[in-house]
Amino acid sequence: MTDSDRTLNDYIGRSTSVLLLAPLHEPPDDDACIDLLTRDPPEDTNVVSVTLSASPAERLSVWQREAGGELPTRATIIDGRREMRSDGLPVSESGSIAVRGLPEDADLYDVGLAIASQLGAWEDADETTVLCLHSVTRLLAAHDTDQVIGLLTALNDLCERLGVSAHSHVDPDAHDEETLSTLRPLYDTVVEYTPTDGWIPTEREEQTPTPSFRSTTTPPGGAARTDPDRPETVPMRHSFETILDLLSCPRRRTLLYHLKNQPNQVVPLDRLVEAVHDIDRSLPTRDSSPPEAIREELLETHLPMLEEAGIARYDADAGTVHYTENRGLESFLRYVETIELG
């Protein structure tokens, strides 16, 4: 159990994934959330807050009540409620509190891609990025349990790779013990609140295999979710974890946007570098690196990753990239491209 003069962070160290088991929207839950969001000083922190029930203003008020008036350097609140409202939110000295809405009929892929793209956008930031998912209880009430487990597994793996500290909220009174036993092994640390003993932390033991998204899960199709011509089912050759990883990096997304539109599926590397450079320069939020730096990044990082996933192969002798058509991935790419580039 925790001592009254120690914070939650004293017990969990630098775990990249933490499960909070406590009644939602009550003082212990709010206190613990802000504890985890302020491991580092606010001026050294970027926050991604996912809210599925409370409004962005309500989630921000928790920060202000528990952490004082100092805001993080950057913060994005991903609003996954069915009814979204625009809230007037304050501006910090070096950035703003942004609200990012999801489609009214958003599914788990929408939630996962919104989180992954925001984490990827801050991958090279100097500040520490922290993620709050409020709440898993809400996800489990709206979606299939195995698919929620797949999403959580993918997000926790992505956070570990990106060095993001993440925590998820669960109301233990809303679930049976079997569900809680399934959730616990997904996290580095589980902390559970009891009225008599306070927070009780436990570290993860040896994991057992957990359910994940099946390779045939239907992704979004067409140019948007409302496209009447989008197919009912699109085969998906990659796991949800792979899709999140592939789309988490802005430059890799740009590369994939261009590759999917190539009719002959063989593209000179020089043309790819030029296309990525042009798109990055047109977006104010992107890092407009010189072509030489983009070429090096493609060769050292992104093309090897696409080759490992069976999506593209670089021919060094010919200086060309060979793209393999993938309707499932392209369906995701069209959807994400519409959101990001319009």
pLDDT for residue 109: 86
The region that residue 271 occupies, defined by phi over 0 for left and psi between -120 and 50 for alpha, beta otherwise, is alpha
Helix (H) or strand (E) holding 92: strand 91-92
User: What are the chain's domains?
Assistant: 9-203 (3.40.50.11570), 250-341 (1.10.10)
pLDDT for residue 284: 67
Q: Encode the chain (342 residues) as per-residue pLDDT tens digits.
A: 444 445 677 667 667 899 999 999 899 999 899 989 988 898 999 999 999 988 888 998 888 887 777 889 999 999 988 665 445 455 444 456 888 888 777 788 889 989 998 998 898 899 999 999 999 999 999 999 998 999 999 999 999 989 999 999 999 999 998 899 899 999 999 999 988 878 888 866 544 444 333 333 444 444 443 344 444 434 445 677 778 888 888 889 889 988 888 766 789 999 999 989 988 888 766 767 899 999 999 999 999 999 888 888 999 999 999 988 777 778 778 878 877 776
Question: DSSP of 111-173, one letter per residue?
Answer: HHHHHHHHHHHTTT-SSEEEEEEE-HHHHHHHS-HHHHHHHHHHHHHHHHHHT-EEEEEE-GG
Q: Which residues neighbour 93 within 8 Å (Cβ) at sequence distance 6 or greater?
A: 71
For residue 8, give both structure tokens: 């939650």
pLDDT for residue 11: 66
How far is it, in rounded angstroms, from Cα 137 to Cα 122?
27
For residue 192, give both structure tokens: 């559970």
Q: Which residues neighbour 104 within 8 Å (Cβ) at sequence distance 6 or greater?
A: 82, 84
The pTM is what? 0.69
Specify whether the CB–CB gap between 297 and 204 falls below 8 A.
no
**Which among 123, 113, 152, 156 is positioned nearest to 46, based on CA atoms?**
123
Residue whose pair of structure tokens reads 């950035």 in the numeric block: 95
- Residue 239 half-sphere exposure, CB side, CA atoms within 13 Å? 13
pLDDT for residue 180: 92
The region that residue 146 occupies, defined by phi over 0 for left and psi between -120 and 50 for alpha, beta otherwise, is alpha
pLDDT for residue 131: 97
Strands 128-134 and 45-51: parallel
